Amino acid sequence: MKKLLIKLMTLRPGLLMLFGYVVLITLGAFVLKLPFCQKQPVSFLDCYFVSTSAVCVTGLTTVDTALVWTSWGHLTIMSLIQLGGLGIMTIATIIFISAGRRISAGERLFFQESVAVGHFQDTFYLLKRIFIFTLIIELGGAIVMTVGFLRHAGPVDAAWQAIFHSVSAFNNAGFSLFSKNLIDYSSNLAVIVPIMLLIVFGGLGYFVMIELTQKRFRLFSKKTSIHTRTVVMVTLFLILGGTLGIYAFGGMNVLDSLFQSVTARTAGYNTVFMEKLPNASVIILIVLMFIGASPGSTGGGIKTTSILLVVSLAVSRLFGRTRVSLFKRTVPQIDVGRAVSVFILGILVVVVASFGVIIFHRETPNLSPDIFKLAIFEVVSALGTVGLSLGLTPYLTAMGKIIIMVTMILGKVGVLTIAHGLASPKGKKEMIYAEESIMIG
């Protein structure tokens, strides 16, 4: 056992993160399989699927969360959501520090990059701030939502529902204690508004929240980092743009349109029946889900900064410029290259996973005619760790469930992170050959 622990400690941070998530998911599945967690018998594969969805803060589920799980099952799911939202690198750093193990410079940098873009040198300060922000925001959301849930439940049930949904919303998980998600609460502002705010805060990222409070929310101050300004502006643009698009083509009121635009940013809640959405709204949601939240946040997707850099690179090339500039600052080529890699790998995962879901789909009269749209929506939702579905999840085959689980893990850990973890050691020299141009476009 000691040798195993020593070997694990020598793993690259990316592989350690992947291994940590797999272990946590497996433990969660075994707990959910226990009789006192289930009201109805649930297969181990479905337990594993729900555990994966909770740890990866996605929200996709093959069973009815309200009807299948007991209070212990709900508590287990909420705990997995909280652990998944905090992140394995955060948890691993705490464990290593508690065990007296020194954190290497590489691990410290990887932890800071995974939650705070590497701008903080004091890891202990960062950990403390992460827990303070998480506690304050989730507690505040729970207090407000308790008032909203009191209209439909007693004080104890209302408080529990508020706590569960606050944790789920801040961590962008999308799990709900109601069979129809939040459809019955679509006009309850004391529930809907706090959930939207929790989703936005969780999606901004810890670094952005910490810096904004340090700078007293002066977004356009010269001392505010480009990262924070970029994240806030892109987030607002996507939320407002998504709201206008859904309102124009979806036949919803403004509040429902705003809510679906916010929740498509990796949260997965819905106040309308997703199966009834027109194709135009489905396309808008797919784009929002694919982009997802921001780096260092509780959400998934290719991230707001990645899509901005990819678009900025395309615009720069159109105008004959070779470098990408934002806010009178030139972005390093390595960051642009990462963004392009994440974008391309994300599309590749969507194509391959969608193909797999379609191939292994069991013929059903209600779903088969639209399986192409349903599969793409499901896969993008899994990769973006969103949790929205057009109704395909309960009908996934065993192989389909495995594909979606793998996609959720890829979305949570990050395709590029896993690729770097599996890459050749840094000491190995890169072979560079003579250059020769090829025709483009």
Q: Which of 70-84, 210-224, 404-418 has the lowest mean pLDDT?
A: 210-224
- What's the rounded Cα separation, in Å, for the pair 275 and 43? 26
pLDDT in tens, 209-240: 888 887 766 666 667 788 888 888 899 999 99
Range with the largest mean pLDDT of 37-51, 262-276, 308-322: 37-51
pLDDT value at 103 more than 60: no
- The pTM of the full predicted model, rounded to 2 decimals, is 0.88
Q: pLDDT band at 205, cuts 50/70/90? A: confident
| pLDDT the model gives residue 122 | 59
Q: Is 42 among the domain residues?
A: yes
Higher pLDDT, 212 or 312: 312
pLDDT mean over 420-428: 56
Q: Is 108 among the domain residues?
A: yes
Residue 48: domain span: 1-116
Q: Is 333 among the domain residues?
A: no
- What's the rounded Cα separation, in Å, for the pair 61 and 52? 9
What's the whole-number average pLDDT of the chain? 84
Which tokens is 39 given?
């009201």
Q: Is 159 among the domain residues?
A: no
pLDDT mean over 240-249: 93
**26-168-149 Cα angle (round to 5):** 135
Q: Is 47 among the domain residues?
A: yes
Cβ contacts of residue 69 below 8 Å, gap of 6+?
32, 37, 38, 39, 76, 77
Q: Is 332 among the domain residues?
A: no
Q: Is 110 among the domain residues?
A: yes
| pLDDT the model gives residue 214 | 76
Which CATH number fits the domain that encloses residue 73?
A: 1.10.287
Q: pLDDT band at 99, cuts 50/70/90? A: very low
- What's the rounded Cα separation, in Å, for the pair 292 and 295? 10
Instruction: Give yes or no for a contact between 106 and 13, defined as CB atoms under 8 angstroms apart.
Output: yes
| pLDDT the model gives residue 11 | 58
Distance from first CA to last CA of the chain, Å, rounded?
Answer: 56
pLDDT in tens, 107-130: 554 555 555 544 555 566 677 778
pLDDT value at 341 more than 50: yes
pLDDT in tens, 276-286: 889 999 999 99
Instruction: Give yes or no for a contact between 198 and 144, defined as CB atoms under 8 angstroms apart.
Output: no
Q: Which of 54-58, 193-197, 299-303 has the lowest mean pLDDT?
A: 299-303
Higher pLDDT, 175 or 275: 175
| pLDDT the model gives residue 4 | 55
| Total domains, the chain | 1
Which tokens is 297 given?
């946040």
Q: Is 44 among the domain residues?
A: yes
